Amino acid sequence: MKVNSSDIKKIIQRYHNKKGILISLLQDIQDTYGYVPAESVELMSRELSIYPVDIYGILTFYAQFRLSPRGRHIIKVCQGTACHVMGGKEILDYLSDKLGISEGETTEDGMFSLERVACLGCCGMAPVVVIDNNFYGRCTIQRIDKLLDNYRLERLNK
């Protein structure tokens, strides 16, 4: 999605002359773009007289904020105790190698983002992988390959 400065200015105007608005403002911008573009930080800094370093301090402190676009499909690999023992680490490493990205990154084609999560609360189904909002339990490398193929095919069929 292309960043439109007039859209960002409209979002900023909703918060103008209010105190304690930075987190809410950043959330609104992220809801619009899927991440917080650098252009929006520059605009916020100018419009609200907040130093960019202060804005980036909030963006990098809270895990909810992203500074780059996420993929069309978000892959979360559970690393809780049960999943870890049952092969979650190996699945995370395999996905990282197969997709050519590290955790927290997005593939060049924008198709997948890879995330490590502490626990998904599905210990009886370990190891668990979530793609978008779909839970896949008792995952294996072979199953991961099939899932990735299905998500790629889904894109081609749309």
What is the separation, in whole angstroms, between the first and last Cα of the chain? 18
Cβ(76)–Cβ(120) below 8 Å = yes
SS (H, E, C) 38-106: HHHHHHHHHHHCCCHHHHHHHHHHCCCCCCCCCCCEEEEEECCHHHHHCCHHHHHHHHHHHHCCCCCCE
Give pLDDT tens digits for 84-123: 999 999 999 999 999 999 998 999 999 999 999 999 999 9
| Angle (CA) 100 103 106, round 5° | 60
Cβ(55)–Cβ(62) below 8 Å = no
Please give the average per-residue pLDDT across 60-88, as a whole number: 94
Per-residue pLDDT band for 155 (boundaries 50, 70, 90) equals low
Please give the average per-residue pLDDT across 30-40, as a whole number: 93
Q: Could you give the CA distance from residue 90 to residue 88 in angstroms, rounded to a whole number?
A: 5
Looking at per-residue pLDDT, the higher value among 154 and 134 belongs to 134
Q: Is residue 1 scored above 80 in pLDDT?
A: no
| Residue 26 CA: distances (Å) to CA of 13, 18, 105, 152 | 13, 14, 20, 31
Per-residue pLDDT band for 156 (boundaries 50, 70, 90) equals low
DSSP assigned state of 115: E
Closest alpha carbon to 103 in 119, 117, 90 = 117
